Amino acid sequence: MGSTARVRLDLAYDGTDFAGWQAQPDRDTVQGRIEAAVGRLYRQAPGQRTPVIGAGRTDAGVHAEGQVAHFDAPAAIPPAGIQAGLNALLPDAIRILAAAEAAPDFHARFRATGKTYRYHLLTEAVVSPLRSRYAWPVGDGLSRGAMEEGAAALAGRHDFRAFFAAPPGEEPETPVRNVFTAHFVEAGNELVFEVTAEGFLRYMVRRMVGTLVAIGRGQLPPERVAEMLRDPGASGPRFRAPAAGLRLYRVHYGAPGRC
């Protein structure tokens, strides 16, 4: 590997104790930890910093099973050594699943053609503590049919403003996003909401799930999802699911729409 090779990292993390992906002064973040480990691996001077760019900027408490990141290696270390070295330097809550040399024009965020998030729900009346760290225990008695009806309405190109919240001044250029698929799958004895889109707005998945669980509980009718997409400026109750149940599941780099 040449001294300026671009490196792709595939990684997973338990986001419980981190203030999200993005590095911030005086906060413990996943990006901050990885950049510190890269600095030590390549024996960089304290003032130097090699930026590590992630595909998705997950929020505080959100997990990742398949985050992707890249950086430009300041020196030549073989990929197996990068993986082993970073894992030795990182806390157990962050694991590099793979390291590989990437094309010089690879970019973890800008080359991504889509991302899949999964949200894990536990639907027993009382949930074992061995299962609740990475899921939202919503109790039993939810109407699965109504939730699936609501989820189906999310697919397509829509104005997702009603499923979005951002601090003033951080609004994106457009609230329109292209959702390829949105549906529930069973995984083990968990009910998992899986959504794949070209891109996501802040809190979009957690607001989707919060709305769908409210529908499952009979607090909202299933048609409410289509109404929120048709008339995104209308007022109404807003629901946001907790961070712990959410994980960035996969980042896609294939042809757009063919994840």
* Helix 144-152, helix 204-216: angle, nearest 10: 140
| Rounded Cα gap, residues 96 and 191, in angstroms | 27
Q: Does residue 122 touch a copy of itself according to CB under 8 A?
A: no
Residue 231 annotated in active site: no
The pair of structure tokens assigned to 11 is 């990684």
Q: Does residue 13 touch a copy of itself according to CB under 8 A?
A: yes
From the list 28, 59, 140, 159, the catalytic residue is 59
Q: Minimum CB separation from a copy of itself for residue 129, in Å?
A: 4
Please pick, from the candidates 42, 106, 134, 184, the single residue that binds a copy of itself as defined by CB under 8 A.
134
Please pick, from the candidates 1, 12, 19, 176, the single residue that binds a copy of itself as defined by CB under 8 A.
12
Please pick, from the candidates 6, 57, 63, 115, the single residue that binds a copy of itself as defined by CB under 8 A.
63
The pair of structure tokens assigned to 124 is 């027993």
Under 8 Å between Cβ of 38 and 6: no
Q: Does residue 92 touch a copy of itself according to CB under 8 A?
A: yes
Half-sphere exposure of 106 (CA within 13 A, CB side): 23
The pair of structure tokens assigned to 248 is 């960035």
Distances (CA, A) of 242 to 44, 120, 214, 238: 38, 11, 13, 13
Total binding residues for a copy of itself by CB under 8 A?
23
Please pick, from the candidates 47, 128, 233, 235, the single residue that binds a copy of itself as defined by CB under 8 A.
128
Specify the stretch interacting with a copy of itself by CB under 8 A; choose among 52-60, 85-93, 139-147, 225-233. 85-93
Q: Does residue 127 touch a copy of itself according to CB under 8 A?
A: yes
Q: Does residue 14 touch a copy of itself according to CB under 8 A?
A: yes
Spell 22-53 as b/e; 16+ CB within 10 A means b: ebeeeeebbbbbbbbbbbebbebeeeeebebe
Please pick, from the candidates 46, 47, 105, 130, the single residue that binds a copy of itself as defined by CB under 8 A.
130
- In the complex, which residues of this chain contact a copy of itself (CB under 8 A)? 12-14, 63, 65, 83, 87, 92-97, 126-130, 132-134, 188, 247
Residues catalogued as catalytic: 59
